[in-house]
Structure 1
Amino acid sequence: MTSPDSTTSAPISLARRFAPFYYASTSGLFLAASSAPTPLYRLYQQAFAFSPVLLTVIFAVYAFALLAALLIVGSISDHLGRRPVIFVSILLNMVAIALFLMAEGPDWLIAARIVQGLATGTAVSSIGAALVDLDPVKGSITNSLAPLAGMAIGALGTSLLVQFAPAPTILVYIVTLALLALQAMLLWVMPETTTRRTGLLASLKPEIAVPLQARRTLLALTPINVAVWALAGFYLSLVPSLVTATTGSTAPLVGGSVVAALTISGAAAVFLMRKRSAATIMWFGIPSMTLGILTVIAGMHAAEVSILALGTLIAGAGFGAAFLGTVRSIMPLAKPDERAGLLSAFYIQSYLAFSVPAILAGFLSKAFGFAEAADIYAAAILLLVGWGVVALRSNREKPLSIA
């Protein structure tokens, strides 16, 4: 997996040393761009007068488009090379940002999120592969940390711009466009990390298959995984509006900080527990997520942002640990030629849990209000966690992981 570039050795050496940082920052930028609209949803809702249901649909179409890109073109860079695919992804994301800038109604926002989902799904698979090409061990860790850090930066950065800078629905996108343009130019300085190979058309066919030896473990972990991604989807779609409705705080920075707290603590948990066994990680993640959700609900009913933020930090640590533990539990059970199919099944499960429950939460918010919707949603997540614990205990005669 060496570079096919024919440039001189000194520039290649310098570029290769810089490449991991470049690819990590580009991955983070894509996820920052994806979470940047989160603090703006309340402003869009006021400007365009749409319901919480439509708000969650705007959020969810991104996840559906991202999933489609992962399944259809997720391995396209293996055949065309990393850099051309990443470049097209950056251009697509710039189109999405332009649609946000020109938005005159919710239909524009839906179109922007679809294009953004396609761009991000194509990019993260190609960038992730490039990072692993450069260093399999460090690349895997970076692939877990960069997206979470990027989502935190996007939510927090947008909140800061909305609260302290002019033109809240314009400036953040101009900044993002400038950063994407810079990444597009720097990309061609980076070395190509793989060689092209045949089989492009065959790679476009999604491969979805759970190996027989992994089915029992994946089934036992499914309630936990659904709970993890349902929690993330709720935060990235409705939590800023929930914070305003239940605490009375209209400061964009407050809602954005609460969202960022989830992904920051999630990233910290992934980093700190990266060398632990899957079983240890899971049994830390499950109680942490449970305690965090209960604390969040308590803070919501007490109208205390500090308690809500504390609960988010605890729940975020559980979110990151449970995600890491799930991946580490199932992937060693697949043979090398079975991993793509297993990952596809895992992606489908995760992104459906990321998007569909959020839409249901939008219906609940419209019918009962944000606080009541949060109560119902939290109860459903806790029931899933409890179900998962029972399933894991019944599966205990098989090791949770060989990692």
Structure 2
Amino acid sequence: MSDRPGRLSFCLVTFSFLVIMMGTSLPTPLYPIYQTRMGFSQIMITVIFAAYAVGVIAALIGFGSWSDQLGRKRLLLGGLVLALISDVIFLFSTSLTPLLIARLFSGLSAGIFTGTATVAIIEQAPPQWQRNATLVATATNVMGLGLGPLVGGVLAQYVGWPLALPYLLHLLLSLLAMLGVARAPETITPPEQVRLHRQRLSVPEEVRGVFIPAGIAGFAGTAVLGLFTAAAPSFVQQILNIDNLAMIGVVVITLFIASAIGQALLSRIPESARLTGGCLVLALGVLLVGGSIGLASLWLMLLGAIVSGLGQGITLRAGLGEVVAHSPQQRKSEVTSTYFVVIYIAISLPVVGLGVTSALTGLTAAGIAFALIVSALALTARGLLIRRQRRDEA
């Protein structure tokens, strides 16, 4: 390694993570434009969104352990190349198939970064920043996801060239991120004999008592993220009757800011109440979102986004912490990867169900049903956790 990690390299890698995650949600406020020009249904919007999750899961399983063999920088640069390919495909998309392919590449890019960039940020952090490096990594992930819809919506609404300018901007940012990653030092020495293999997934029996409720809570919370990033355009335009594309971005980023705050507040909550309390907050927030859909209220939707975002942030970070803490040392990677696969299934499968249901019952009824089901999942996870705590205390 030619240089030691420091403040500059920490900031450069963090910036690259922000750019990648921003790109994954950049198309969110643009879906109504694609829908109008290409004539596809609400179901197809959710399928396009699900293609992203397929890419993420494929990358987590296929490349999850490669950075230990090839080095962090090579994987990060590869992820940025995939993001550039996604941007180029989006720029020239005139039909449904290129959109699906672009989202798949975007998912592959995010899947590589989710694990590799998180580790790289922690390793690049100078000693005085080590304590908060994990929080910086998770907050960067969430804030990038929130910035995408806001940037895309503002550019599309107020600047012009809605299906070109957001991707051109992201192309430029990705190129700058590549220069930054290339400038940062490598933090590991790859082995002389490289052995590439896919990431194993498993949940050992001794972890299942924790994994199941944590997984259900994480599934419920991430389903809310999927709801906002895939269906917010339809809710804002068709139910709230607001045509401003920037407002779509405001609604989505409100949820993600609240999620980042929830993660930051975790250390101030008593350990025994973190996951159970997060589930309760999440359930309440999702019910508020369901109420906003039924009442067609923007302010209630924003309040629901804040409350459910706080609950999602708390449950995600607390659930991951519980799973990691109870996993055998030699199998932590397998269990953690399994947890993230559950999370990314949650970001896609429920919203596809929403799309199918909305075609049968209408968007309002489907949105309310979605909120009730997710709230029930969060409360189920809470009940399992409380029962486990009482059993451990007995």
Q: Same fold (TM over 0.5)?
A: yes
Counterpart selection for 1:368 from 341, 361, 365: 361
Residue identity matched to 1:74: G
Secondary structure of 1:188's match? helix
Match of 2:133 in 1: 139
**Hey, what does 2:185 align to over in structure 1?**
191
Render the CA deviation track for 1:278-314: whole Å, top value 9, x for unaligned: 4332233122212212222222232221121111111
Q: Which aligned pairs between 1:34-45 and structure 2 lie closer than 5 A?
A: 34-45=24-35
- Deviations along 1:148-188, whole A, 9 cap, x unmatched? 01011111111111111110111000100001111112222
Q: How has the CA–CA distance of structure 1 residues 198 and 64 changed in structure 2, closer, same or farther, with 3 Å as cutoff? A: farther
How far has the Cα of 1:333 moved from its partner? 0.7
Question: Is the Cα–Cα contact under 8 Å of residues 283 and 379 in structure 2 kept in the other structure?
Answer: no
CA distances 1:31-59 after superposition (whole Å, capped 9, x unpaired): 10001011111111111111111111100
CA distance in 1, matches of 2:163, 2:267: 38
- Spell out the pairing of 1:29-178 with structure 2 (5 A cutoff): 29-135=19-125, 137-178=131-172
Hey, what's the Cα distance between the residues in 2 that align with 1:264 and 1:199? 43
1:335-380 CA distance string (max 9 Å, x none): 3211011012112211111111111111011122211110111111
| Equivalent pair of 2:258/2:306 in contact (CA under 8 Å) | yes
1:310 is matched with 303
Indicate the residue corresponding to 2:261 in structure 1: 268
Aligned residue number for residue 375 of structure 2:
382
Amino acid at match of 1:27: F
Structure 1 residue matching 2:183: 3-state secondary structure: coil
**TM-score for both structures, normalised by structure 1:** 0.92
| Equivalent position amino acid for 2:150 in 1 | L
Greater Cα offset, 215-224 or 358-367: 215-224
Displacement, 1:206?
2.4
Q: Aligned-pair distance for 1:275?
A: 5.2
The Cα offsets for residues 221-273 of structure 1, whole Å up to 9 and x where unpaired, read as 33222211111111111122112111111111112211111111000111122
- In the aligned structure 2, how far is the partner of 1:241 from the partner of 1:159? 14
1:207 counterpart = 2:200: yes
* The one of 317, 322, 330 aligned to 2:315: 322
1:392 aligns with 385
SS at match of 1:191: coil
State the identity as a percent: 24
> How far apart, CA to CA, are the structure 2 residues paired with 1:399 and 1:37?
46
SS of 1:131 mapped into structure 2: helix
Q: How far apart in 2 are the matches of 1:196 and 1:277? A: 40
CA deviation map 1:179-233 (0-9, x unaligned): 11111122222111111115643x4232112133211111233322221111111
Which residue does the alignment assign to 1:252? 245
CA contact (8 A) 2:220 2:378 kept: yes
1:390 is displaced (CA, Å) by: 2.0
**CA distance in 2: counterparts of 1:93 and 1:231, whole angstroms:** 25
The one-letter amino acid of 1:47's match is: R
Letter in 1 for 2:40: F
Matched position secondary structure for 1:98? helix
- What letter corresponds to residue 326 of structure 1 in structure 2? G
| 1:294 correspondence with 2:287 | yes
Q: Give the paired residue count.
A: 389
Matches for 1:228-243 after TM superposition, within 5 Å: 228-243=221-236
Structure 2: 5+ residue runs without aligned partners?
none
Distance, in Å, in 2 between the alignment partners of 1:27 and 1:305 is 31
Matched, 1:339 2:332: yes
